[in-house]
Structure 1
Amino acid sequence: MKASRILVLIIALSAGGLAAWLNLSSGSREQPPTIVVQEQSIPSLEILVAGQDLKVGTSLTDGDLNWVNWPEDSVSDGAILRNSNPKADQEFLGQIVKSAMFSGEPIRAERLINTDKGFLAAILPRGKRAVAVSVDAVTTAGGFILPGDKVDILLSMRAQKRDEGYVSDTILENIKVLAIDTTTASENTEKAMSPDQTATLELLPHEAEVVARATQMGTLSLSLRSAADSKDGLKQPPRVKGGVKFVKFGIASQSVNGN
């Protein structure tokens, strides 16, 4: 009797062990569910970008422009599309870079100049003249005048009566500095004046005559204007013959003949 009970117990334990083994074996063979991620296709357009960093004043050559895919939703107005102008990468070769662009940056036609003229002549507004004057750090706000700044032009000269010494007055106001030596505002705005350099000024024709005569009469100095005070649209002085017309806020106040 006791032996039969032991036998039944052994059979039961064996059956239980076999069932557990079969359960574990079937579970190990089950594979984890496969997660399928469906890639979403983002609509894109081919646009023209800079193939490398482009400096101001350089002419575009082979390798400077590339076509790349760009997300359609991110294409800004003014970008050059391949489907509308497929030969743009060749048509723009030889044009001059008007403002610096970095590698991969979308090309915009308004940032290029299509001309066979020099860079400064190309960016000079219609009706304006570029006049270079020799200046030094002493006569240019301590050398802190930069291309793109607005200045007043001062003339210092000996008074008509020698016993009165020298006099100074403003002959032109709110004049834009186009360049310091060969550095323009677009190219490098961190280069300030250093001794014995040349400032190129943007002038109207009659202002150019005033400056030319003033350089023969005395010493020119540039007075830096505040950014808040450098506004366009100030009245310009009338053309003056036989002398230099001093102008303040567009009002002629004094004339010196330089005798």
Structure 2
Amino acid sequence: MLSFFNKNKPKDNNSKSRTSTYLLLMTLIAALAAGFLGMQTIEKYTNSLPVLVANTEIPAYTPITENMVTVEKYAKADIKKGMFSNPKAVIGKVVTSKIPANYPLSQDFLAREGDGSILASNISEFEDPKLRAVPVRVEGINALGGKIMPGDRVDVIGSMKLPIGGIQKPVSQTIGIRVPVLSLMGDQGSPSGVVLALTPQQAQDVGFAEEAGQIKLSLNPYQSDVEAAKTTPTTPESFVQKYITNKKGEVEEVQTEVGEQ
């Protein structure tokens, strides 16, 4: 029995030796693979290039100035087409949408070449070739005391006196519904006017109303009823018919108290 165990003992040693060899080979292969992947990762992230990023949040429709941008190093693998590395390439360009702070600048954020001004960039965002940027004179109180801001939607109401039947009669009519406000003119607290996005026909009608009377603006909520703004003109006759005429169709006399003479 002893000799039997002695004969099998070398086989155990050989088996252990082969296992150790396999483990060593596997370890070497794993180390080589890890080293290869590590080298690739290092090469990927150490091969960096300068990229232009926003130094602070840049609002939409703002011309870029030098202090708004800075240059940071980006891994070459993370650089996308359209990004910039030189500040001179973007200084003076107009931003068409907000760029968050520390976000890389790219061509997608900038107004297209040939857009011209900030207003042209702004109105182009509506993607409606019929719209025009039209300045409209309004007194502060008629513009809600400066509470209207760019981006709001307003109804445009023209109030004027027109020759009807040989007599100058007041008329009021909604000219534009949910019209975009592009910018304010003058002081924000008491603007002298607004720039609206109007169709050529609306611009023509607003211009007539300005010359014949005055323009008032009605601020829309975020979810407004467009149908409610489709009104008929208010004239002396329609006003009397609606508010003063009684159910019998007779004009009611306005009762007043007679004071001392």
TM-score norm. by structure 2 comes to 0.55
> Letter of the aligned partner of 1:229 in structure 2?
S
Equivalent pair of 2:63/2:91 in contact (CA under 8 Å): no
Structure 2 spans left out of the alignment, 5+ residues: 1-37, 236-261
> Letter of the aligned partner of 1:119 in structure 2?
I
Distance in 1 (alpha carbons) for counterparts of 2:194 and 2:177: 15
Equivalent pair of 1:152/1:172 in contact (CA under 8 Å): yes
2:205 maps to 210
Higher helix share: 2
Alpha-carbon RMSD across the aligned residues, in angstroms, is: 4.1
1:50 maps to 54
Equivalent pair of 2:173/2:233 in contact (CA under 8 Å): no
Q: Does 1:171 align with 2:175?
A: yes
Q: Does 1:127 align with 2:130?
A: yes
Q: Displacement of 1:49 after TM fit?
A: 1.5
2:103 maps to 105
Change beyond 3 A, Cα 1:58–1:230: farther
Equivalent pair of 1:60/1:97 in contact (CA under 8 Å): no
1:221 maps to 216
Equivalent pair of 2:161/2:213 in contact (CA under 8 Å): yes
Which of 66, 74, 77 pairs up with 1:69? Answer: 74
- 1:1-259 equivalence runs, <5 A: 48-52=52-56, 54=58, 56-59=61-64, 61=66, 64-69=69-74, 81=79, 88-89=85-86, 91-115=89-113, 117-125=116-124, 126-158=129-161, 160=164, 166-181=170-185, 194-229=189-224, 248-249=229-230, 253=232
Question: For residues 204-245 of structure 1, what are the alpha-carbon distances to aligned partners after superposition, in whole Å with 9 as ceiling and x for unaligned?
Answer: 1111111111111111000111111177xx9xxxxxxxxxxx
Structure 1 spans left out of the alignment, 5+ residues: 1-39, 76-80, 184-190, 235-246
Count how many residue pairs are aligned between Structure 1 and Structure 2. 184
1:21 maps to none
Question: For residues 53-93 of structure 1, what are the alpha-carbon distances to aligned partners after superposition, in whole Å with 9 as ceiling and x for unaligned?
Answer: 546432455983423337x8xx7xxxxx16x5686536445
TM-score norm. by structure 1 comes to 0.55
